[in-house]
A and B are shown apart, each in its own frame.
Chain A
């Protein structure tokens, strides 16, 4: 089944096309990586898909249902590239995750207990069970990422959207993070849309890749779609040989 379908999507800022006629589809339960140089419109594309910025013309459909803006009943999880928040905000990890647990308000102690169990279970799943009572502002980059993944999973989303979530984290942290995403994908059938600059990550973890530079350049399985010509046209001559090392490594 197609979880997400994007048809001829355009995003404009005045007369400038930030995203131009991009079309692709994502199979339920797959991981699709979006790659492209800086300024290619990757973040703009996923913000349009999430309904965070206006777009048009073009359509975005979730599970065959066209949506104008944010889907109401289809839950999405989102981990932004950079989480801009006040680090002195005295907010615990538990409180941060509880914001997303419905209902808005309940006096029922049973509901509160279920909420606590759900949050603790999610944190355990992402390897952050020990962070429950920590303040969000005191977390390291890697810890914050795992917490944000748990937060994105709170409402059992159908699709998880990750915008370069591993940027600014050391190599070991990145590795652990991508393994976690793949494990979640395999264990729960979660559909994942992932922006990455790292071709290694694309080859190792993505079922499909979408390469763009404002327009769609190619889409398909990484080993088929990412030809030397495509990589050179997107990233320049320097990256031409890199693709072979990624293949070999994989």
Chain B
């Protein structure tokens, strides 16, 4: 039987571990805003929009990472624009976009000949298939996204707290909301290959929710969410190797384990 230390010598395992670590930091960091703004349905819609992008990419022979990202960004901007202009609630617009994206994806998939494994790999994630190019893209997105959020942390938190107060303070609320929507779309799509379309929202939400059980400040929330995401990513990845299970669900289950530990250990259940 191959031991964990032997596994760690394989380059594809090293890449998988590094990818799970990066996703473990990136997703919760952005997920804090998804959670604070109660946008988990939005991130779900974006991940399902990426499905339409994947199908379109397969049909047109375009790189699936690029096609899914382009479609996800387009849908994110469309949701933001329609919510703003129509006066309809976010939930209504997201529900329509979500259904439209799934239906489009299924329609296109039906037009493709044969079984398209590369599309279905994105549904459940295939961390062991992460290439060097995927890692570079993930790394670049992580560094840029985290830097952008740190630089604009004040206006992003201000508008998350209260939009009207942000506007009175002179913050361009529309610009920062659109920026946040695009960031979520990019983060969701680069994480698809690792945790899969179905579970990507969990990686955004669960470590951030665990951090919220313990954090006493916003800085604490951001730091703890990344820490819990990293622990979930690494333990989930190693656990999946040891137990011979799928890596995406194992990572998510580890993060859910951390959620319950923090819930019962934190002040929420002990006051």
Contact = CB atoms under 8 A, between A and B. Distances in A.
Interface of A: 47, 50-52, 70, 72, 75-78, 80, 83-86, 88-92, 95-96, 98-101, 104-105, 135, 151, 155
B168 A105 contact: no
Interface of B: 36, 38, 150-155, 157-158, 161-162, 164-170, 212, 215-221
Given A70-B170, A90-B212, A78 B154 contact: no
A83 B167 CA distance: 14
20 contacts: A50-B168, A51-B167, A70-B167, A75-B170, A78-B168, A88-B212, A90-B217, A90-B218, A91-B157, A92-B218, A95-B157, A95-B219, A96-B161, A98-B154, A99-B161, A99-B166, A99-B169, A100-B158, A105-B150, A105-B151
Contact of A99 (B157, B217, B220): B157
A105 B154 contact: yes
A233 B102 CA distance: 58
Nearest to B163: A52
B152 A89 contact: no
Given A91-B217, A91-B218, A92-B216, A100 B169 contact: yes
Contact of B161 (A47, A72, A85): A85
Kindly list the 7 A-B residue pairs having the minimum CB-CB distance in the complex, ordered from nearest: A99-B158, A90-B215, A78-B168, A105-B151, A92-B217, A99-B154, A95-B218
Most chain B CB inside 10 Å of its own CB: which residue of A83, A89, A92: A89
Nearest to B221: A90
A155 B161 CA distance: 18
A80 B150 CA distance: 28
Contacts of B166: 99
Given A70-B167, A91-B161, A105 B153 contact: yes
Contacts of B162: 80, 83-85
B161 A89 contact: yes
B161 A90 contact: no
